[in-house]
């Protein structure tokens, strides 16, 4: 078995074990890393994955305003 295939199988099994029968909320940045994690989680738990895509914030001031409004 190719190393990547083994990693994918092990990651899916690990996610299934940790999630159990629960729903999972996952924050995504939209980048490659979080997108790969989301795909693995979707394969592992299907419709019990609730993805949340964070909006693109190009500057720190906008990020601060966005974060404050999220907290309210």
Mean pLDDT score, 65-69: 54
Q: What are the residue boundaries of the structural domains of the chain, listed by start?
A: 3-71
Q: What is the CATH number of domain 3-71?
A: 3.40.50.620
> Distances from the Cα of 27 to the Cαs of 16, 19, 55, 60, in angstroms?
18, 15, 11, 19
Q: Which residues of 31-66 are buried (b: 16+ CB within 10 A; e: fewer)?
A: eeebeeebebbbebbeeebeeeeeeeeeeeeeeeee
Across the chain, mean pLDDT equals 84
User: pLDDT band at residue 54, thresholds of 50, 70 and 90?
Assistant: confident
């Amino acid at each position: 078995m190719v190393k990547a295939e083994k990693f994918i199988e092990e990651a899916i099994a690990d996610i299934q074990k940790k999630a159990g029968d629960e729903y999972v909320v996952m924050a995504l940045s939209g980048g490659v890393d979080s997108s790969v994690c989301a795909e693995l989680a979707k394969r592992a738990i299907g419709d019990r994955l609730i993805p949340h895509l964070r909006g693109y914030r190009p500057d720190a001031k906008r990020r601060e305003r966005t974060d404050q409004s999220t907290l309210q």
